[in-house]
Structure 1
Amino acid sequence: MILYVIVPLCTLFTITQQVTSADKCVCELTNTEQAFPQDKLSTVEDNALKCNSEVTDQKTLELESLLLGLDRRLPQLQEDVSLLEMEDDGELYGVLSLQVIENEMKDIRQLIDKLNSTTLGHQHLTITTAKKLEDLKAEMKELEKYDTMQVVKRQEANQRLKRDLDQCRNGLHPIIQPTQPQHSNCPHGVFVNITGPRVYTAGEFPGSYKYGAWGRDPKPETGKESWYWLVMMTSSNRYSNYVRLYSSLSSLIVGVSIPGNVQIHPTNPTTNTIQGPNVVLYSGALYYNCYNQDAICQFNLTSKTITNLQLPKGTRFNSKGNFCHLDECYPFTDLDLATDESGVWVIYTTTQDFGNLVLSKVEEGEDLMLGQTWHTSVYKLGVTNTFMACGVLYATRYINKEMEEIFYLLDTVTGVENFNVGIFIKKMSPNIYALNYSPVDQELHAYCDSYMVSYKVLFE
Structure 2
Amino acid sequence: MLGLDRRLVQLQEDVSVLEKEDDGDLYGVLSLNVIHNEMTEIRLLLDKLNTTTEEQHKQTAATTHRMEQVRAEMEQLETFDTQQVVKRQEANQRLRRDLDKCRNGLHAGPPPTEPPNGSCPYGEFLNISEPRVYTAGEYPGSYKYGAWGRDPKPEPGKESWHWLVLMTSSNRYSNYVRQYHSLSSLIVGQSVPGNVLISSSNPTTNTIQGPNVVLYGGSLYYNCYNQHAVCRFNLTSKTVTNVDLPQGTRYNSKGNFCHLDECYPYTDLDLAHEVGRLGGLHHHPGLW
Give the TM-score of the pair, scaled to structure 1: 0.34
Q: Is the 8 A contact 2:272 2:278 kept in 1?
A: yes
1:217 equivalenced with 2:147 (yes/no): no
Query: Could you list the runs of 4 or more consecutive aligned residues of structure 1 that deviate by over 4 angstroms after TM superposition?
Result: 196-200
TM-aligned CA deviation for residue 200 of structure 1: 4.7
1:322 equivalenced with 2:251 (yes/no): no
Give the residue type in structure 2 aligned to 1:311. Answer: L
> Of residues 242, 255, 266 in structure 2, which corresponds to 1:332?
266
Output one character per residue of 1:413-438: Cα deviation in whole Å (capped at 9) or x when no partner: xxxxxxxxxxxxxxxxxxxxxxxxxx
CA distance in 2, matches of 1:350, 1:294: 12
TM-aligned CA deviation for residue 197 of structure 1: 11
**Which of the pair has more CA radius of gyration?**
2
**Structure with the higher fraction of residues in strand conformation:** 1
| Matched residue, 2:94 | none
CA distance in 1, matches of 2:132, 2:273: 20
Over 3 Å counting, the alpha-carbon distance change for 1:214 and 1:197 in structure 2 is: farther
CA distance in 2, matches of 1:242, 1:261: 6
CA distance in 1, matches of 2:199, 2:131: 34
Over 3 Å counting, the alpha-carbon distance change for 1:280 and 1:307 in structure 2 is: same
Give the residue type in structure 2 aligned to 1:202. Answer: A
1:230 equivalenced with 2:130 (yes/no): no
1:267 equivalenced with 2:201 (yes/no): yes
> Of residues 306, 319, 343 in structure 1, which corresponds to 2:277?
343
> Of residues 107, 132, 137 in structure 2, which corresponds to 1:203?
137
TM-aligned CA deviation for residue 202 of structure 1: 3.1
Q: Is the 8 A contact 2:153 2:276 kept in 1?
A: no
| Matched residue, 2:175 | 241
| Matched residue, 1:312 | 246
| Matched residue, 2:231 | 297
Give the residue type in structure 2 aligned to 1:286. Answer: L
SS of aligned partner of 1:251: helix
CA distance in 1, matches of 2:192, 2:238: 19
Give the residue type in structure 2 aligned to 1:232. Answer: L
Over 3 Å counting, the alpha-carbon distance change for 1:315 and 1:225 in structure 2 is: same
**Structure with the higher fraction of residues in helix conformation:** 2
CA distance in 2, matches of 1:199, 1:292: 39
TM-aligned CA deviation for residue 203 of structure 1: 1.9
Give the residue type in structure 2 aligned to 1:249. Answer: L
1:287 equivalenced with 2:221 (yes/no): yes
Q: CA RMSD in A?
A: 1.7
> Of residues 186, 190, 197 in structure 2, which corresponds to 1:252?
186
Give the residue type in structure 1 aligned to 2:203. Answer: P
After TM superposition, list the pairs within 5 Å mapping 1:344-423 onto structure 2: 344-351=278-285, 354-355=286-287, 379=288
Over 3 Å counting, the alpha-carbon distance change for 1:198 and 1:229 in structure 2 is: farther
| Matched residue, 1:67 | none
Identity %: 75
Larger RCO, structures 1/2 (Cα 8 Å, 6+ apart): 1
CA distance in 2, matches of 1:243, 1:218: 16
Over 3 Å counting, the alpha-carbon distance change for 1:197 and 1:348 in structure 2 is: farther
CA distance in 2, matches of 1:319, 1:239: 12
SS of aligned partner of 1:349: coil
TM-aligned CA deviation for residue 258 of structure 1: 1.4
Over 3 Å counting, the alpha-carbon distance change for 1:327 and 1:265 in structure 2 is: same
SS of aligned partner of 2:282: strand
Over 3 Å counting, the alpha-carbon distance change for 1:318 and 1:252 in structure 2 is: same
TM-aligned CA deviation for residue 272 of structure 1: 0.5
Point out where structure 1 has 5 or more consecutive residues left out of the alignment: 1-195, 356-378, 380-460
Q: Is the 8 A contact 2:137 2:188 kept in 1?
A: yes
CA distance in 2, matches of 1:249, 1:329: 29
SS of aligned partner of 2:238: coil
Over 3 Å counting, the alpha-carbon distance change for 1:198 and 1:215 in structure 2 is: farther
Give the residue type in structure 1 aligned to 2:183. Answer: L
Number of equivalent positions? 159
TM-aligned CA deviation for residue 341 of structure 1: 0.2
TM-aligned CA deviation for residue 216 of structure 1: 0.3
Give the residue type in structure 1 aligned to 2:181. Answer: S
SS of aligned partner of 1:245: strand
TM-aligned CA deviation for residue 201 of structure 1: 3.8
TM-aligned CA deviation for residue 342 of structure 1: 2.6
CA distance in 1, matches of 2:228, 2:133: 34
